[in-house]
Chain A
Amino acid sequence: MQEHFSQEIENLKTNLIQMASLVDEQAEKAIKALETGDIELCKGIKSKDVDVDIFDNKIQSQCENILALFQPVTIDLRFVIAVMMINTQLERCGDISVNIARRVKKTAGAREIIKESQIIQMANSAKEMLKLSIDCFIHSSIDTANSILIKDAEVDSLNKQIFKFLVQKMKTDANLVEDCAHLIVLARNIERLADHATNIAENIIFYLEANIVAHKMKFQKRNIDEDF
């Protein structure tokens, strides 16, 4: 019984890692395309998304089965809950990669602005965060998870700077408006990617430490009692 359960958990973990590596590949390709301007790289990102979606459903039903059949408690329960949430985050990351690829194609003619803004730097940070979060899941590393949370602030502030920069560009040259608008959305997508990586890290902290860290700063600021 116990062995059977461990096997189910192991199986679930393997599936999530496989899904994560697919998503990681998508993000990696999309961001590489952004960095190099090689829009050939964008091919295949969208078709991969179907594979990710298959994993998404598979993992969800696996989690349901485990909850129904084994009624896990404590760390086992948190693991299944965390997997369910990470599953959703990863699926979104896949979608976001597809969106990034689309914007990269559309802004192929705006290499100058891309290079001028900090958008590549931001994309690399976000990609790094996603990689770290996957690593963190594989190795159950609480330190890595915490480092991701710190990185998120960095990406957020970059996003703000890029936004300002692009708005400034649009003001100076009306011809740039379309490219800049696309780039604003692109930056926003990258910011979302980093957010999801952060959420994954938070889920891993919940799994390992039974501690819900999401929204913590906000609650502290507003003095909301966290004893639910």
Chain B
Amino acid sequence: MENGAMKSNLYLYKKKIINLIMLSLSVLAAVISIIPLIFIIYYTVSKGISHLNIDFFIEMPKPVGEPGGGMANAIVGTLIMLGIGGSIGIPVGMSAGIYLSEFGKNKFGNVVRFFADVLSGVPSIVVGVVVYSLVVIPMKQFSALAGGIALGIIMIPTITRTTDEMIKIVPQSLRETALSLGIPKWKTTVSIVLKTAWKGIATGILLALSRAAGETAPLLFTALGNRFWSTSIGQPIASLTVYIYDYAKAPFEDWNNQAWTAALVLIILISILSLLFKIITRSRYNIKQ
């Protein structure tokens, strides 16, 4: 009897120790996973903060040797291209996602899904080259439009797949309920299903936008970059990433520092974007669980 009790005590003890080890390991893994992020933020902030001032947002780049100046044209350029990319990627991606989840339980649907997966795996520089030969060469001009199109194409597969997945998560019973109320199928999809899945889809869109905002390679072939103020979509346009690329490898310390600031601004931009999405998609209700 006593022996048995001791045995079970030992067993409990062993279990507790294993528990502790596993817990420490997973905490460690979690810490390791955020270390790079901490470094990135630390370096970007510490190196970029010195040039971060109002001028950076409203001034144009100064020639080499002249201190100060900003990247107003690059910030605007990035936003314009994100706008163009978004207005291509979001509607196309979402429509494709809706099609896949609601009507795509057939061969064609599977083919589309497969291509979306492949497209999301295509290196962005390849997308840049393709857009270069399809848009830039015929227009005989690097342009914001070409850059936007490249970003849009990069966004499509992410948005398509998240939309598809998020709509699939919406319980079938909700669709059936809506249909049973005599709501037509398309209205059910738009008003009930999409509304319910909206939060997840928005996260996908945000992810796609953030990724597009950070792209450099495809822009080199399409938007090229521009040291001057331009908001014309038919002209080459500046972007933060291309500036980072140019300034970081330049042999001038001042430019190098500005590259850090540009990186910081890019991170801030993306953070603001996520914040905006959080606000937009915030539930109207406090849902108790």
- Chain A–chain B contact at Cβ < 8 A: no
Interface residues of B (CB under 8 A from A): none
Interface residues of A (CB under 8 A from B): none
